[in-house]
Amino acid sequence: MTELTKAKALWIYETMVRIRRFEERSIELFQAGELPGFLHAYIGEEAVAAGVCAHLTPKDQITSTHRGHGHMVAKGLRYEGMFAELYARRTGYCKGKGGSMHIADQDLGVLGANGIVGGGIPIAAGAALGIKLKGGKHVVVSFFGDGASNEGAFHEGINLASVWKLPAVFVCENNGFAESTPRATHQAVRDVADRAKAYGIPGVSVDGMDPAAVYETAGEAIARARKGEGPTLIEAKTMRFLGHYVGDPGTAYGHDKEVVKWKKRDPILAFGAFLEKKKWLAAKEREEVRARVNAEIERGVEFARGSPEPDLSDALTDIYASL
């Protein structure tokens, strides 16, 4: 069993705050017209990214999704490069060529957010195969949503990982909606974790609003993967607090009503209370965390605003390594 130490708990708390504040600030900037494109906010699901990534080193890899900012922050990507990417600046993680849905940093073990639902799952299996062939002890975690669990890529990727016993963990962030389509109309199974049976691997459902529970479940799965015992499918039941994209009120498909009860279980508030009770982090210290994160956020935003836009010639570079 994976024990949640004070140090890990504090890391998880701060990581959740870092994710939340990044998203809140991004939304402000987007609504102020400073950011091109569109955003999918991770607010509400922070416990999943933080609870899972608390076990990962920079050499462990992740694949992420269109709703990927939370995974990036939890994996250690810096605000400067992330904001600069959202601002489409040359100093962004992808030189302004990827944007919100394609942030990646292989040095920190991020094989990319992904604009294609489920697209990262076979890639994660391949990365795990790469690690295995090179004799490494690292693992790959693939994050995706309940919608992705209906894609063929989900089946093909997890089947490969299971038949080859690869060091991979598949984390389904089940927020109950595939874009605007509620669970009951897109899959007959209530628990995505049940699908693990089809691959002969463990499938575990966990409360995705509780970072301690996510931490424990992910710890077991990741330890299993590191030991060469193969992949696990984790289903974290969670909820995005906002619409599918920033600007979607969620009213057309019942999300606005559904989300009310989930907001009462805000993972940051709940975990803050847990830490207070444990006497690990007092209210005043939580304020300090917030202030520290806010200052870092503003440095990131200022860095991005002060960064150069790409040159027009950049449009035609990085397509090939060589021609």
Least separation in angstroms between CB 53 and another protein: 19
Tell the residue number behind the tokens 């294609």, with chain if given.
Answer: 116
Binding site for another protein (CB under 8 A): 61, 92-98, 102, 104-106, 111-112, 114-116, 119, 121-131, 133-134, 140, 152-153, 156-157, 159-160, 163, 317-323
- 177-178/140-145 β-pairing: unpaired
Least separation in angstroms between CB 130 and another protein: 3
Q: Which is nearer to another protein, 5 or 106 (CB)?
A: 106
- 140-145/168-174 β-pairing: parallel
Least separation in angstroms between CB 159 and another protein: 6
Taking a C-beta distance cutoff of 8 angstroms, is the pair 119, 102 a contact? no
Any bridge partners for residue 141, and if so which?
A: 62, 169
Q: Which is nearer to another protein, 140 or 281 (CB)?
A: 140
- 18 among known catalytic residues: no
Residue type, 218: A
Runs of H (alpha helix) within the chain: 6-31, 46-53, 69-74, 79-86, 120-133, 152-163, 183-186, 211-226, 255-263, 267-277, 283-305
Catalytic residue, candidates 20, 224, 244, 286 = 244
Show the tokens assigned to 31.
């609504």
- 253 among known catalytic residues: yes
Catalytic residue, candidates 253, 265, 290, 299 = 253
Count of all residues that appear for the chain in the document: 323
- 245 among known catalytic residues: no
Least separation in angstroms between CB 272 and another protein: 35
Catalytic residue, candidates 66, 67, 69, 240 = 240
Residue 193 half-sphere exposure toward CB, CA atoms < 13 A: 15
| Structural Rg of the chain based on CA atoms | 19
Least separation in angstroms between CB 101 and another protein: 9
Q: Which is nearer to another protein, 97 or 226 (CB)?
A: 97
The residues carrying an active-site annotation are: 240, 244, 253
